[in-house]
């Protein structure tokens, strides 16, 4: 009967009982120690204690409270009332959708591309997107029961507008916002989602209040420097108004695997303790201004390890302003191309953009870049006559432009300078068009074939002609498929991306590869110290995007 009753206890009661049991266990341990100490003292030191004359001892007194406080305390007192605890509930749902396994694309970034989701990201960096329950940092009950989770947030408008993380409120059926002065037994104010942006993991929630609410002051994240002191305030493990201190450890930190899913995420790194429940809370500078939204940690234990990440306030402000607009969504510009991030210097030298530029991997049909005549392997070098540094620079510039506007792009084609006026489309539209154009399947392109094969010692790979059915599926006119890669070879040690079994090589140093014989001819001409750049179609990729993999022969 007791077990049955316990299963029907409320979430609050179960948490309370857990805390009480923990407290009692601690007190019980201490009691044993005191009793043992008393016995030992009475038998060994009792006579000696009786001989001590304490008439000359001065009693201790509680001093008058000091009116001075340090800067940390001042900031905590000033900002604390505007920091909230967010509790969410997710009702049981019976899903009929089949489970699928997502496939990543090696090194694939892009000005537009598959948004995907953040599940794998948060599994690695914050114990799961929404924990096991789907929203916030999870404290859920048994399987099939109502899920409950928690996070943090902060008020930026006295009318009740609150900034938090998207993963805190994602998939929530009910949202409750508890203010700093609310009773611990209250659920809090009912929250309503105004809008979310999955690309930056930012959400805006609104609560109703009969009186103006305390707010935080937003700061400029660009002004912060490495080593500056910062404070984090939030509700780790359901402990409201927890304040931790640290410094800015790094800026512009990318912690995902690259690609479109994380290209808008550049974090402030801090060693201020951030734990599950801190998600969505503010990271503050020494002026008491919010310079980041605490979003993720890198941990192997599930707790803080001194490596936390916050979305910069400048990014948060831009996203917030779009989410409170009449559309309640973030609108980003796009021209409809994909590019590969993290390329080796050899790629830049072969394609002539060692000092900056973006090498196009794919152009989405029907989108502005295609209409303007841009092609794969063109190198974008400028935007409205301003040099383009890299892919991040291109994305930041284009995404900030409004759909319907135009931009003048300078680019290189075969080493010759060209330019074109390119329209700006809605990024959402270009993503849908790209996903609609994806083709091919997951068949293994390394199937045994009777075609001629070749093994080249200087690269450490074996290749053979691509099967005809694979050429048709991937819309290729030729190439060779890698059938084996020697461990520790040049091909395996390429950085940041190595060649892999199943990859299809369609070009080497801008020369087309038709079959094993043409590949042999190109490779035989290479010598030690030469740059080697492969244009590769990943064998298992479901789209037709090329990767550029290169290095310098030892």
Catalytic residue annotation: 167, 201, 279
515 forms beta bridges with none
Tell me how far apart the alpha carbons of residues 289 and 299 are, in angstroms, rounded to a whole number: 27
Burial letters for 397-412: b for 16+ Cβ neighbours within 10 Å, e otherwise? bbbebebeeebebbbb
Tell me how far apart the alpha carbons of residues 47 and 37 are, in angstroms, rounded to a whole number: 16
Beta-strand ranges (E) seen in 254-378 are: 267-270, 282-284, 289-297, 308-312, 333-334, 337-339, 358-363
**Residue 473 burial (10 A CB sphere; 0-12, 13-18, 19+):** middle
Burial letters for 431-466: b for 16+ Cβ neighbours within 10 Å, e otherwise? bebbeeeeebeeeebbeebeeeebebebbbbbbbbb
String of DSSP letters for 203-271: EEEEE--SSPPP--EE--GGG--TT-EEEEEE-GGG-TTEEEEEEEEEEEE--S-SSGGGTT--EEEE-
Q: Are strands 416-423 and 406-413 parallel, antiparallel or unpaired?
A: antiparallel
Q: Kindly state the tokens that stand for 472.
A: 């048709």
Tell me how far apart the alpha carbons of residues 312 and 315 are, in angstroms, rounded to a whole number: 6
Tell me how far apart the alpha carbons of residues 397 and 426 are, in angstroms, rounded to a whole number: 14
**Are the CB atoms for 272 and 246 separated by under 8 Å?**
yes
Q: Are strands 217-218 and 289-297 parallel, antiparallel or unpaired?
A: parallel
- What spatial distance separates the first Cα and last Cα of the chain, rounded to whole Å? 74
Element (H, E) at 162: strand 161-165
Tell me how far apart the alpha carbons of residues 522 and 553 are, in angstroms, rounded to a whole number: 14
Within 13 A of 498's CA, how many CA atoms are on the CB side? Answer: 15
Q: Are strands 147-157 and 337-339 parallel, antiparallel or unpaired?
A: unpaired
Q: The tokens 């190439």 sit on which residue? A: 479
């Amino acid at each position: 009967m007791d077990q049955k009753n316990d299963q029907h206890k409320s979430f609050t009661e179960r948490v309370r009982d857990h805390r009480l049991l923990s407290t009692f266990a601690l007190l019980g341990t201490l009691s044993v120690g005191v009793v043992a100490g008393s016995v030992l003292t009475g038998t060994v030191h009792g006579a000696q204690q009786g001989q001590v004359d304490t008439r000359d001892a001065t009693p201790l007194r509680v001093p008058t409270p000091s009116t001075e406080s340090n800067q940390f305390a001042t900031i905590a007192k000033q900002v604390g009332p505007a920091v909230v605890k967010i509790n969410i509930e997710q009702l049981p749902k019976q899903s009929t959708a089949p489970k699928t396994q997502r496939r990543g694309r090696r090194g694939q970034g892009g000005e537009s591309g598959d948004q995907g989701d953040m599940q794998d990201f948060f599994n690695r960096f914050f114990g799961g997107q929404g924990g096991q329950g789907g929203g916030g940092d999870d404290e859920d009950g048994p399987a099939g029961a109502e899920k409950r989770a928690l996070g943090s947030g902060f008020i930026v408008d006295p009318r009740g507008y609150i900034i938090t993380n998207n993963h805190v409120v994602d998939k929530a059926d009910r949202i409750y916002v508890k203010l700093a002065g609310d009773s611990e037994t209250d659920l809090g104010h009912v929250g309503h989602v105004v809008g979310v942006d999955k690309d930056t993991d930012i959400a805006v929630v609104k609560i109703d209040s009969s009186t103006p609410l305390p707010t935080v002051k937003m700061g400029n994240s660009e002004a912060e420097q490495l080593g500056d002191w910062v404070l984090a305030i939030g509700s780790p493990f359901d402990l409201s108004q927890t304040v931790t201190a640290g410094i800015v450890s790094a800026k512009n930190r990318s912690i995902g695997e690259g690609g479109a899913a994380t290209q808008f995420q550049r974090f402030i790194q801090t060693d201020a303790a951030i734990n599950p429940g801190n998600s969505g809370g503010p990271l503050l500078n020494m002026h008491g201004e919010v310079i980041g939204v605490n979003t993720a940690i890198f941990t192997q234990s599930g707790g803080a390890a001194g490596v936390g990440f916050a979305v910069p306030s400048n990014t948060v402000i831009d996203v917030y302003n779009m989410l409170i607009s009449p559309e309640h969504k973030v609108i980003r510009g796009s021209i409809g191309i994909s590019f590969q991030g993290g390329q080796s210097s050899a790629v830049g030298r072969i394609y002539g953009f060692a000092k900056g530029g973006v090498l196009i991997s794919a152009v989405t049909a029907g989108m502005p870049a295609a209409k303007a005549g841009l092609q794969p392997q063109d190198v974008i070098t400028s935007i409205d006559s301003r040099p383009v540094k890299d892919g991040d620079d291109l994305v930041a510039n284009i995404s900030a432009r409004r759909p319907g506007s135009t931009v003048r792009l300078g680019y290189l084609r075969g080493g010759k300078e060209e330019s074109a006026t390119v329209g700006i489309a809605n990024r959402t539209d270009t993503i849908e068009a790209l996903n609609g154009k994806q083709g091919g399947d997951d068949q293994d392109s390394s199937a045994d074939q009777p075609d001629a094969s070749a093994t080249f010692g200087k690269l450490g790979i074996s290749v053979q002609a691509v099967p005809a059915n694979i050429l048709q599926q991937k819309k290729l006119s030729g190439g060779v498929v890698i059938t084996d890669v020697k461990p520790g070879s040049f091909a395996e040690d390429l950085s940041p991306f190595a060649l892999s079994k199943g990859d299809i090589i369609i070009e080497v140093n801008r020369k087309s590869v038709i079959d094993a014989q043409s590949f042999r001819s190109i490779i035989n001409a290479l010598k030690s110290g030469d740059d080697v750049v492969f244009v590769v179609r990943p064998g298992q990729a479901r789209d037709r995007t090329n990767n550029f993999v290169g290095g310098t022969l030892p």
